[in-house]
Structure 1
């Protein structure tokens, strides 16, 4: 009898429960995976540390791949109030440049999307444990024991890590190939004329040491989500207020957008240590999905699509009887080129020279914006391979 089987037997005696799969994290990746597995007849438990759906540091941009994955799950995003985005706009110290997106995108707040996905997973038969953190995971190639902060141990044949941007103890990701950045997010109520001008657009706004994304979301709000290099923040800014002031003054376009606007967020959501450019490699047993598998720079807007892709890909490989090592190798083939390109572009966008080059290129050929959006998407061949 191996160690995990002994733990299972002991756990059953103490009221522990057994599952085919346990998922740590109930964001888009974790909830989508749980839905796939539950519909296939597998017993699944999802541990979500937050008791209720909440806002997250996220641009809330859904590219056509993400919309397709959600619709394949039976979740039409338009019925949830998603807004259509058709154009991209780049702004810096001068006048902005606008170009059509190479696809029709959507904008939907994470609070709404995450709640809908967790409800979908629950209706499929997955057990959702909200407000529960996992203290530890132990196991071998034959299974795993999960110890939540409250309640009995849980045992599962497979362990899926879907904790998003936040690492958990003993399972930290490696650093990415990008300068360390801080990320901030706020919601705004723009003046009517500015809200009308922003409608159907995703705007990328450059400022010293970073860039911001501004887009409309449901409820008549605008999502302002930005990243700034950690070293520039420490040397030049030192506070969210200073970053916001720089954004307004260094990019006149942002100043116009936010003139007379009401900030709807009491204080910004913030996160540090984003490992942009990270792509997980096989460790033989742990399934990493979502941001725990791959972290693409924010400007690409493909983070949620990648999260859903990893869930879809992991479900297909798991249900075929293959292991986490096969999944991680397949994911590297799917995403490595895309993440490498996006990381290189993002490194340019947080440097003064790179920002000048980006703006000059956009002025000379606005369609470069459309090309950049297309260049940082999940490749069609990877989507074809992910079909369940």
Structure 2
């Protein structure tokens, strides 16, 4: 059986790789760059560093730094207009998943027009918009290597999943040095997001030998280093391992799709503004426990890759350790419950049916080894309160 594989055309990986930015722009025959980023990247000096590199290479650029966490359809409108009016022929996305997701939306809308809802699943967007060079500054989303973007519809609070080659960055620069200043909370949330990508890609019904290889290697890199970078962000070896693991996890799920955790996570973020990695973390232990019965060998292999079990251990032992470890990670990394995050039970119950509808409409739950019906999904959501 063959597997379809999507990757950026060019990738630069390793400490100091950001210095190669002008070379990638020139390789794309581009000359006017719109840098899509956020205020934090400006404050840290990363945006200025990229712009200086471009200036020294005689490449024109402008910085747009008003992207927001969990981007919405309206939040990209200004940058779309700037890209149209300014004659820009390349976008550089600098930041976490939100900046890169924003750039993916901007690249398509600036070139083809329309509204973001026009491009959500089930439509597959293979049309090529403006080329994107993605430079992640977190070790988590993997958006630099994926053909997905998630944009919230302002009118309905739906987190719209948008899929296709048109959303895949043309190039990616994966420089772990850009993650050294990340605070512990963001380190934890993005790290668990990457671990979720790897696990879900491996157990996905769309998995292949190619995605399996990347998912297992991602787990081997992330599992022993996640706690380390949370407690000691200055550990360069752990930071580098996390960055490589996050990118490999991104490659894995871009080519195998995510599953039930992500399907149920997106509505939590849309309705209650819970950061994406954090809502994944809230769901990962219970959904793993729910799903194991339909893919016990696959989940046991995850446990082995994470160093939780030996190849000689029984499948049951490995799976018990996996669920216990996912719960232990949440406890050590101070992942809050929904209630601790500030969500009231009444507000939650008022939208839970809509959350289920949106989760199912995304298509991600259908990739899960065990596909829940709406009542089972409601039980899993309500389990967040116990």
TM band (smaller chain):
under 0.3
> Structure 1 length as normaliser, TM-score?
0.26
Whichever structure has more strand as a proportion of its residues is 1
Whichever structure has more helix as a proportion of its residues is 2
Task: Flag the structure with larger Rg.
Answer: 1
> Structure 2 length as normaliser, TM-score?
0.26
